[in-house]
């Protein structure tokens, strides 16, 4: 059960962030409204929000999930794979240290984005991507092992997604949402898979928060399948964040 979520609203320069989506320039006003709706959804799931101030130096700073990996035992500050985002780590240090007495940090030449880390209870999948390299994954695996967790790496560098959690999500009860492109990977063979067709693959970035599943709106097949399996989706418009290669999980650090 999550108790807290760290969030940061998009700043004035949000539209200047990194993106390969090709979906046009986002509306700042709409992005802020969508961000506030996601915050309200987290509160509706019983979480207390820790709201960070605007960070005008870093356009991508609203995507706080990439900056740290928070487990039940310790916190790991990442070293983002995009040079323009490395400075974002300093903006969460003090807040995270208020809650964690054991803190680690990824060191160069390792790189790691939190969006490449998918926790499935006691096991973690670590994506090897354009943002997370093998050395960053190795360092994280060592930190996790020291806390009694297991992990394995999933190479997604030849896939169509930026981060591992763009294509998979763990929903508890040994059940995982997976985009069709990743669903046949041997890493996920022991999970009950909800396979998502290519045209709805953005919905794979959904988030189980206590007894609800936060889900991007506009993907009726995934929504219907979750309902059929007994999940309770909470639908959220993510259009402006999708334009910036972002998803629902990116907008908060939950612990």
Q: Widest CA span of the chain, in angstroms?
A: 45
Closest C-alpha to 253, from 59, 100, 83: 100
| Catalytic (active-site) positions | 163, 250
Question: In terms of C-beta density within 10 A (0-12 exposed, 13-18 middle, 19 or more buried), how is residue 207 classed?
Answer: buried
A 10 A CB-CB count for 198 gives 9
**What is the sign, positive or negative, of the torsion defined by CA atoms of 221, 226, 227, 229?**
positive
For 108, the token pair is: 């160069």
Total residues found in the chain within this entry? 255
Residue among 254, 43, 55, 80 at smallest CA distance from 163? 80
**CA atoms of 66 and 115, how far apart (whole Å):** 5
Residue of 98, 20, 86 lying closest to 55 (CA atoms): 86
CA distance 115 to 249: 8
């Amino acid at each position: 059960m999550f108790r807290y979520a760290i969030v940061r609203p998009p700043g004035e320069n949000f539209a200047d962030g990194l993106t390969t989506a090709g979906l046009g320039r986002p509306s700042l006003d709409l992005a802020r409204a969508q961000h506030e709706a996601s915050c309200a959804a987290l509160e509706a799931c019983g979480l207390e929000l820790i709201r960070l101030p605007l960070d005008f130096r870093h356009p991508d700073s609203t995507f706080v999930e990439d900056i740290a990996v928070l487990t039940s035992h310790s916190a790991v500050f990442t070293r983002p794979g995009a040079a323009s985002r490395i400075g974002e780590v300093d903006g969460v240090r003090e807040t995270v240290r208020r809650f964690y007495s054991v803190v680690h940090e990824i060191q160069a030449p390792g790189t790691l984005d939190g969006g490449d880390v998918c926790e499935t209870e006691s096991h973690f999948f670590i994506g090897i991507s354009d943002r997370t390299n093998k050395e960053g994954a190795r360092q994280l695996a060592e930190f996790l092992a020291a806390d009694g967790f297991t992990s394995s790496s999933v190479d997604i560098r030849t896939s169509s997604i930026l981060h591992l959690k763009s294509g998979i999500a763990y929903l508890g009860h040994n059940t995982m949402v997976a985009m069709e492109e990743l669903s046949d990977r041997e890493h996920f063979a022991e999970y009950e898979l909800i396979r998502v067709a290519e045209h709805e693959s953005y919905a794979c970035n959904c988030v189980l928060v206590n007894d609800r599943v936060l889900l991007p709106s506009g993907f009726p097949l995934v929504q219907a399948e979750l309902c059929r399996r007994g999940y309770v989706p909470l639908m959220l418009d993510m259009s402006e964040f999708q334009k910036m290669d972002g998803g629902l999980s990116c907008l908060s650090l939950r612990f």
